[in-house]
Each structure stands twice: as structure tokens, then as C-alpha cells.
Amino acid sequence: MTRTDMLTQSHLPMQAEQAESATPQWQLVCHIEEIPRLGARRVERAGFAPVAVFRTADDAVFALIDRCPHKGGPLSQGIVFGKRVACPLHNWSIGLEDGCAAAPDSGCTPRVAVRQVQGMVQLDLAHFEPGSAAADASLPIACSHDEPGSSA
């Protein structure tokens, strides 16, 4: 059995308010087989911060802004294990579900809505407004939301 016909969608508590106001704009990125298992692809969009799309061992996908909250390292280049990724620059461990660093490190990178439809991986562009935290390319990213897993 494959999971490609399943529809998975990451939660969006951070952008819950936006989610209510904006209609999702799903944009095809690639087929899931184009992302290595326990790996990631970096998705570029002119004028916006790049997005890292991760694939776990059991073919779930997650998407985060491709910048570690520590020093802005490209998370898409890190080692993926379980539902976490280790930043390639200084080995911070970032949760794929919440974008937050494992304690005692703290800080979160914004999540991006992602889903799979019959194996096609899609990102929601509605939440990439220029000027939002996601589009601000200055480094590093400050922790913007309190979540379990992000220590105070």
C-alpha cells in the first residue's frame, strides 16, 4: 500500500488567524518521490524566503521556512531523523511539526502549510505574504510563538 493517495496536511496553529482570512492557494511543488526519504528539497520563490520540504521515513511531508532560528542555517541540508531535522551549521535539532528547537535551545522557524494529493506535494502560497515573518530574509529569526518544545 502506498500513502500517495492519502491527503496529509500539517497543522497551522501559528497562522490560524490568517488561515481563516485567506483562502488556501495550493501550488504544486514536486512529486514525493523527488524528495529523498529522510531528506528534503529546497523550494525557491522569487522575493520570498526559501522553503524546505521534508520527507520522513514513513513518507509524511512537512514544510518549514528554510532557515534555522539559531544562525539561519539551511535546514533543508540537514540530517532528518524521526520528525526532526538537525541543522547543518551547528546541529540544532528542529521539530518538523512545530518548527521549534529542542530544549534547552529555543526559537522557532515558521511552518508552511503542505499537503500531498495522490503523491503530489503542494504548498499553500496564501501564507507567504511579502513582509510577513516568512518573507523577511534578515537573519536570524526570532522566536515568534510559544509552543510546547520551545523553551522560554
Q: Quick check: 47 and 60 in contact, CB under 8 A?
A: no
CB of 83 to other proteins, least distance (A): 9
Instruction: Give the DSSP letter of residue 133.
Output: G
Of residues 102, 143, 117, the one with CA closest to residue 31: 117
Q: Which residue has the cell 497543522?
A: 11
CB of 81 to other proteins, least distance (A): 5
CB of 102 to other proteins, least distance (A): 10
CB of 130 to other proteins, least distance (A): 15
* Cβ nearer to other proteins, comparing 8 with 151: 151
Of residues 138, 139, 144, the one with CA closest to residue 106: 144
* Residue 119 region by backbone torsions, left for phi larger than 0, else alpha for psi between -120 and 50, else beta: left
Say how far apart CA 143 and CA 152 lie, in whole Å. Answer: 9
For binding to other proteins (CB under 8 A), which residues are involved? 27-30, 34, 36-39, 41-46, 56-57, 71-74, 77-82, 84, 86, 88-91, 93, 104, 123, 125
* Cβ nearer to other proteins, comparing 17 with 129: 129
* Cβ nearer to other proteins, comparing 7 with 28: 28
* Cβ nearer to other proteins, comparing 104 with 130: 104
Q: Which residue has the cell 500531498?
A: 116
